[in-house]
Amino acid sequence: MTDPAPTEPGLGMQLLQVDDLHVQIASRRGTVRAVDGVSLAVGAGEAVGLVGESGSGKSMTLRAIMGLLPPEAKITAGRVLLDGIDLTQLDHGQLNKIRGPKIAMIFQEPMSALNPVMRVGLQIAEGPLVHLGLSRAAAAQRALELMRRVGIPDPEQRFRAFPHEFSGGMRQRVMIAIALSCEPQLILCDEPTTALDVTIQDQILRLLTRLCRESGTSLIFVTHDLPVVAQVCQRLAVMYAGQIVERGTVEEVLTQPYHPYTLGLVRSAPDVDHPRATLAAIPGSPPSLITPPSGCRFHPRCKFAEEDCTTEEPPLRVLRSGRATACLHYERCQEALPLGAER
């Protein structure tokens, strides 16, 4: 197999490999380059975080992998390889055979992802019924067992309940049960806890990490919340304006960012354990994806920007195993004060 430029070395078998993915959205004001050359690899049993602000293309990347792009969005280039099969080449029927037993997805808003007029138990049993060929009774039995595993109290009674009878946290547990129901190799999570309260978020994150660890399921976890990634993931990719700007292990990226945008994200959020006098805000706002800035897309907001940043589009350079940055002057991030030193 050919090994295109910025994939991760040293990780042996990759379960999922996204190569140079481009997604464009046609709009009245022009073509939005929502995802612009994203490459990503996920190993078996690994949890990878995809972090960025709204409009950075993280959700679009996830939807492109799942084949769930909105009708106005198109994959214009790139491959999505799952176990060697290119998902972008599959038709609707073939994708339906992959979704469920191979890949599952957990959405931010469970109320709009669940069927409001179908009993919760049957929604969980549907996957095993269709994909695993279980009988109705066996599928129902499996649904009950899954409800127990995700911590829904009184599964026998709750089996016949409708989604609106559940709380937000319980609905997200139902979503997790559905995602796990066909034992997929990979679960895609799109901000699964953003709509939840802190204590419920804590419960759901712990549940999700435990279940994936037990079953060896890989995760891609999309969020704008860095601490949430630190709880769930081993590796992390930071997205800005449709591109990945930095990649590495969670610990490395968060303690020693190699991109000024990551540095800004880490420093601009108040840290609950280490309050600081002032927050280092990132000036400006994210750029338009119809006419992105020339050169490095972050340069208009970057305090380290120099002449070459405005003209040269920096590639994602691999520095060492698994660690990559798209900043031409990443050394300057390290000259900046280490995390928490201005306390």
Partner 1 sequence: MSAPTQSAPVGQPSAPDGAPLLAATGLKVTFPLAAGLITRMRHEARVLRAVDGVDMTIGRGQALALVGESGSGKSTLARALAGLQRSDEGEIRLEGRVLPARRSSADQRTIQMVFQDPYSSLNPRLTVGGMLHELLRVHHVVPRAEVESHTRELLGLVGLSEDAVHAYPRQFSGGQRQRVAIARALALRPELLLADEPVSALDVSVQATILNLIQDLRAELGLTLLLISHNLAVVRHMCDTVAVMYLGRIIEVAPTEKLFAAPRHPYTAGLIAAIPRLTFSEEGDAPAVRGDPPSPLRIPTGCRFRTRCPVAQEICEREDPALTVSPGDPAHSAACHFAFAPVPPPRTPADEKATA
Cα distances (Å, whole numbers) of residue 106 to 62, 63, 125, 177: 11, 11, 16, 10
Is 225 a residue that touches partner 1 (CB under 8 A)? Answer: yes
CB nearer to partner 1: pick between 123 and 172: 172
**Residue given tokens 């491959």 in the structure block:** 79
Is 251 a residue that touches partner 1 (CB under 8 A)? Answer: yes
Q: Minimum CB separation from partner 1 for residue 101, in Å?
A: 26
CA 187 distance to own-chain centroid: 10
Alpha-carbon distance of 207 to 300, in angstroms, equals 41
Tokens of 289: 């994806």
CB nearer to partner 1: pick between 64 and 232: 232
Q: Minimum CB separation from partner 1 for residue 11, in Å?
A: 20
Cα distances (Å, whole numbers) of residue 114 to 1, 69, 152, 163, 334: 39, 18, 16, 7, 46
CB nearer to partner 1: pick between 75 and 208: 208
Amino acid residing at 207: L
Is 254 a residue that touches partner 1 (CB under 8 A)? Answer: yes
Tokens of 154: 């009184």
Alpha-carbon distance of 64 to 22, in angstroms, equals 9
Out of 282, 296, 326, 327, point to the residue binding partner 1 (CB under 8 A): 282
Stretch that binds partner 1, among 90-98, 107-115, 120-128, 206-214 (CB under 8 A): 206-214
Stretch that binds partner 1, among 4-12, 69-77, 80-88, 259-267 (CB under 8 A): 259-267
- Asked whether the beta carbons of 295 and 311 are under 8 A apart, the reply is yes
Residues 46 to 75: which contact partner 1 by CB under 8 A?
Answer: 53-54
Is 227 a residue that touches partner 1 (CB under 8 A)? Answer: yes
Q: Minimum CB separation from partner 1 for residue 53, in Å?
A: 4
Residues 104 to 163: which contact partner 1 by CB under 8 A?
Answer: none
Q: Minimum CB separation from partner 1 for residue 77, in Å?
A: 28
Count the residues of the shown chain that bind partner 1, applying the rule CB under 8 A: 46
CB nearer to partner 1: pick between 269 and 318: 269
- Asked whether the beta carbons of 245 and 320 are under 8 A apart, the reply is no
* Cα-based torsion angle of the residue sequence 320, 321, 322, 324 in order, rounded to the nearest 10 degrees: 10
Is 192 a residue that touches partner 1 (CB under 8 A)? Answer: no
Q: Minimum CB separation from partner 1 for residue 187, in Å?
A: 18
Tokens of 234: 């081993």
3-state secondary structure of 262: helix
For helices 136-149 and 120-131, the axis angle rounded to 10 degrees is 120
Out of 3, 93, 278, 341, point to the residue binding partner 1 (CB under 8 A): 278
Is 269 a residue that touches partner 1 (CB under 8 A)? Answer: yes
- Asked whether the beta carbons of 212 and 188 are under 8 A apart, the reply is no
Is 230 a residue that touches partner 1 (CB under 8 A)? Answer: yes
Chain positions contacting partner 1, by CB under 8 A: 53-54, 167, 169-170, 197-203, 205-207, 209-210, 224-228, 230-231, 250-251, 254, 264-266, 268-273, 275-276, 278-283, 285-286
